Amino acid sequence: MKEYLQIIKEHHLRNTSQRQDIYHHLKKSKIPQSAFDIHKKLKNIDLATIHRTLKTFEKINLIELNNFIGDVKKYSIKTKIHFHTIKCKNCGKTILIDFCLIDKFQKFIYKKYGFKILEHQLQFFGLCNNCKK
Positions touching its own copies (CB under 8 A) are 65-67, 69-70, 73, 86, 88-89, 95, 97, 101-102, 105, 109, 113-129, 132
Residues in Cβ contact with 60 at an 8 Å cutoff, skipping those fewer than 6 apart: 7, 8, 10, 11, 13
125 touches, from DNA, its own copies, none (C-beta below 5 to 8 Å by class):
its own copies
116 touches, from its own copies, DNA, none (C-beta below 5 to 8 Å by class):
its own copies
* 16 lines the binding site for DNA (CB under 7 A): yes
Alpha carbons 121 and 117: distance in angstroms, whole number: 11
Task: Name residues contacting DNA, limited to 57-86 (CB under 7 A).
Answer: 72-73
* 98 lines the binding site for DNA (CB under 7 A): no
Report the chain's terminal Cα–Cα distance, integer Å.
43
Pairing between strand 63-65 and 75-77? Answer: antiparallel
